[in-house]
Structure 1
Amino acid sequence: MKKILFSIFTFIFIFNLNAQTNLYENPEFDEIAKTHKIIAVVPFKTQVKLRPKQMKDMDDEKLHRLEKAEGEGIQTAMYSWFLKRKKRGKLKNLEVQDPKVTTALLKRKNINYDNITDYTPQELAKLLEVDAVISGEFETNKPMSEGASVALGLVLGFWGSTNSAIVNMSVHNAEDGVLLWNYNKKVRGSIGSSPEDLINILMRKASRRLAYTKSN
C-alpha cells in the first residue's frame, strides 16, 4: 500500500501559468545587488483556505501546523532554487544563508513563524546579518507539500482535485529597508505538486528580471 501511495504522489503535476502576473523591479536593484554578499530567505506566511465542510475534520491547531509547514516548505524550496543557480555559476559572489541558520538566529531573538510579520524586513536582515531578505505570502486552497497532500487526500477527499496558489515574494535591502523586487503570481496545479515545482515555475521567467541571476 505504501509503495502504491508513493508511486501515485511522486507524480508531478505541471503548473499552468495564469496570465495575471505582477512584477516590480527597483530601477537601482542592479547596482545595489552588486554590493550584496549574502542574502536570506525567511518562512513565507501561509494561508490554506479550506471549504467549511473540510474544516469539520481540521481544527485550528492542525490547520496552523499545516500552514507553518507549507511556509517553511516554500522557504526551503527557494533556498534550493538559489543553490542550483549557484552550482551552475549563475550566482557570482553571492551566498544564500542556510534556512537552519536563519531559523536558529531568529529563535535566539524569540522570532518565529507566528510573530515574524511583527518585524520589518530591514530589522530581520540586520538580525540575520545579511544584505537582503526574501520574504513573502503564500495562499492556496490545498497544501503543496506531498506529505500534507497525502494526509488531506485520505482524510478530506482531495483526490484528483485541482488547486490554485498565489505567491507574493519580495526582496528588501538590509541597509535602508527599500523594496528591491516584488513578484506576485497565481498558478494552478494538482495534488502531488511540491513547493519545489511551484518555485521553479514561478522563477522560470521572473529570474530574468532578478538582479542576482541576470546574465551579464
Structure 2
Amino acid sequence: MKQKLFAALASIMLFSCGPQIYKSADFSNALSKHKTVAILPAEVSMQLRPNQAKSTTPEQMEEMTVKTGYDVQEKMYGWFLRRSDKYHYTVSFQDVTRTNAKLKEAGITYKDLKTTDRSKLAQLLGVDAVMQDRLSMEKPMSEGAAVAVGLLVGAWGNTNKVATTINIHDGNSGNLLWKYDYEAAGSVGSSTTRLVDALMRNATKKFPYSVN
C-alpha cells in the first residue's frame, strides 16, 4: 500500500516563471566576510481547496505548515551537503539540528522567527548570515485525506503552484543581502524532498556562495 502511495506521488513537472533576484548595494563586501550560514525553518503558507479547508481544523493546518517548514529546512541543508564538492561553497552551513537546538534554548518558537531581527538570530546562532525560504503553496493536497497523509509521512499530493522566496540576511547588520523569487506551477512535487529538489535546482544556478 505504501509503495503504491509513494509511486502515485512520484512525478514532478514544473512550468515556471523566470526567477527574480535582488542584491543589496553592499552584497559583495558583506558576502566576502561570511564563513558560516544558518538555515532557518522555512516560513510556509498553504491555500487549500474549499472542500479541504472545511474539513481541516486550524490545529491540523498549523501542524502541517510547521512540519513542512522544518522539513524544508532539513532538506535544504541536505541539498547543500550533498553538492558541496560540485559547487565548492565558500561558506559552511550550520547543522540544522544545532540551529534548532539553539533557537529552542533561547525560547524562540517557529512563529517568533517571522518577527525576530536577523542580526539577533545570527548572534544567537553564532553565524555570519541567516538564510530562510518562504513558501506559498496553492492547493497542496489532492484529496481531503491528504491532511492525515501529510502529517504522517510528509506528503501532501501534487501542488498546483508554489511561490518561493529565499532570503539571505547579513548577520552583522541584519540587512537583506540577497533575495531569490521563483514561482513554479503545474505538478510541483509530492513531498518536501521532491519539492526542495525541484526548487533548489533553479536557485543553485544563481546561488551567491557557490563557485561553479
TM bucket normalised to smaller: 0.7 to 0.9
Structure 1, unaligned stretches of length 5 or more? 153-157
CA separation of 1:30 and 1:204: change in aligned 2, threshold 3 A: farther
| Partner in structure 2 of residue 2 of structure 1 | 2
Distance 2:126 2:177 in 1: 18
Residue 163 of structure 1 and its aligned partner are, at CA, apart by 1.3
Aligned to 1:134: 131
Map 1:146-185 to 2 at 5 A.
Answer: 151=149, 163-185=160-182
Describe the SS at the equivalent of 1:213: coil
Give the Å deviation of 1:202.
Answer: 3.1
Give runs of aligned pairs for residues 60-209 of structure 1, distance below 5 A: 60-88=58-86, 90-92=88-90, 94-143=91-140, 151=149, 163-190=160-187, 192-209=189-206
Q: Aligned-pair distance for 1:73?
A: 1.7
Does the aligned pair in 2 maintain the 1:45–1:71 contact within 8 Å? yes
Residue range with higher mean Cα deviation, 200-209 or 116-125: 200-209
Question: d(CA) in 2 for partners of 1:111 and 1:186?
Answer: 29
Distance 1:25 1:214, change over 3 A: farther
Residue identity in the other structure for 1:176: S
Letter in 1 for 2:97: K
Query: After TM superposition, where is structure 1 displaced by more than 6 Å over at least 4 residues in a row?
Result: none
Offset of residue 68 of structure 1: 0.5
Cα deviations by residue, 1:10-45 (Å, 9 ceiling, x for unpaired): x231322224x3211234333322221110110111
Q: With structure 2 as the length reference, what TM-score do the two structures score?
A: 0.84
> Which AA in structure 2 matches 1:16?
F
Identity %: 31
- Offset at 1:205? 4.1
Q: Is the 8 A contact 1:70 1:143 kept in 2?
A: no
- After TM superposition, the structure 1 stretch with the greater mean CA deviation from structure 2, 163-172 or 186-195, is 186-195
Q: Is the 8 A contact 2:14 2:188 kept in 1?
A: no
